[in-house]
Amino acid sequence: MTKHNLPQLPLAYSKEVSDAKARGAPIVALESTIITHGMPYPGNLAMARSVEDIIRHAGAVPATIAVIDGTLHIGLDADQIEKLAQATNVMKVSRADLAFAIAERRTGATTVAATMIAAARAGISVFATGGIGGVHRGAEESFDISADLEELARTGVLVVCAGAKAILDIPKTLEVLETRGVPVVTFGSEDFPAFWSRVSGLKSPLTLSSPEAIANFQRTRESLGIDGGMLIANPVPEEFEIPREEMEIYIGRALASAEREEIAGKAVTPFLLDNIFHLTAGRSLKTNIALVENNARLAAEIAVALG
Ligand code: PSU
Ligand code: MN
């Protein structure tokens, strides 16, 4: 089959993103599973809007990514974001499901893994989120390791997060990233952060303290022909931090509920996140929104520095 006989990529750019591509302006990708499965309404909508504004304010263009009725959208308009934020039966789409959602004309929210794939296809190299998926506690029994880690190993997108949630086994998550050759860089700190908390108790493999240094590191990797992604961990601002010991209580309860209800597969992470929001009576949501905003700002600065 010659190339032009291949089916056209079912990909649609928002006007803002296609204009940015035409002028060569910096673009930051954003995932949509965090909107549909990561936070409750209406906090999720407030977050989705404010991160886009923060990215614009920092001189870049936001591209929220989702599959809507079988089309892979790179950049959503206000109406599409609002619909996603309110929807209750949207598919959670990772690497395994992305082509399925498109082929079956479904609506699906993209995880870190699927958003990385879409961003790479769209020529976007920086992506901001809250927390990545990782190795779950008890993975030696359950085999539950997020496809996000494998995607970081293979797809050349720089992902800015606030570390990994302690619902995961953070030491094992870092081990897998190291094994798969993914650089883990904490921004401005020697400690690897744990999402709600600025420290996880583990040292960060690497530390850099400016967007320019991160851009320079990435360019150097490219000049050496080293492919794959990079993880930037950005500690939550101090005023929004929830101490590790306090979160551990809620995490323990959420994990116990998941085991009791025999939650498995892609339902595990959304189940734990929802449980924790309820257990903390919304306090964790405030922290969650603040850290995503903080990550959006840094991602935009890195995108600008990458030129
Ligand atoms: N962790 C969070 N918030 C999230 C997610 C993870 O703190 O919203 C979402 C992201 O979309 C991530 C996905 O890519 O969950 C990972 O799911 P799984 O563990 O099933 O791979
Ligand atoms: Mn999983």
Are 106 and 91 spatial neighbours (Cβ–Cβ below 8 Å)? yes
Which pLDDT belongs to residue 10? 79
Q: Residue 203 Cα, ligand 2 centroid: separation in angstroms?
A: 25
DSSP H/E element including 102? helix 98-103
Q: Is 107 in the pocket of ligand 1 (CB under 6 A)?
A: no
State how many domains the chain has. Answer: 1
The answer as to whether 152 is a domain residue is yes
Q: Of the ligands numbered here, which is closest to the C-alpha atom of 270?
A: 1
Residue 106 has pLDDT above 60, yes or no: yes
Which pLDDT belongs to residue 266? 94
282: tokens are 């919304």
Tell me the residue range of the domain where 51 lies.
Answer: 7-306
The answer as to whether 1 is a domain residue is no
Residue 1 has pLDDT above 50, yes or no: no
The answer as to whether 2 is a domain residue is no
Domain of 291: which CATH number? 3.40.1790.10
Task: Summarize pLDDT for 147-192 with one digit per residue, the tens.
Answer: 999 999 999 999 999 999 989 999 999 999 999 999 999 999 999 9
Size of the chain, expressed as the number of residues it contains? 307
Instruction: Tell me whether residue 172 is one of the annotated catalytic residues.
Output: no
Residue 65 has pLDDT above 80, yes or no: yes
Task: Summarize pLDDT for 148-159 with one digit per residue, the tens.
Answer: 999 999 999 999
Q: Which listed residue (16, 21, 31, 293) is catalytic?
A: 31
Q: Is 198 in the pocket of ligand 1 (CB under 6 A)?
A: no
The answer as to whether 172 is a domain residue is yes
The answer as to whether 274 is a domain residue is yes
Instruction: Tell me whether residue 141 is one of the annotated catalytic residues.
Output: no
Task: Summarize pLDDT for 245-275 with one digit per residue, the tens.
Answer: 999 999 999 999 999 999 999 999 999 999 9
Q: Is beta strand 71-74 parallel, antiparallel or unpaired with respect to 126-128?
A: unpaired
Cβ neighbors of 174 (< 8 A, separation 6 or more) are 184, 192, 202, 205
Q: Is 165 in the pocket of ligand 1 (CB under 6 A)?
A: yes
Using the atom order of ligand 1, give the atom closest to the CA of residue 265: 20
Which pLDDT belongs to residue 6? 55
Using the atom order of ligand 1, give the atom closest to the CA of residue 136: 19
State the DSSP code for 163.
B
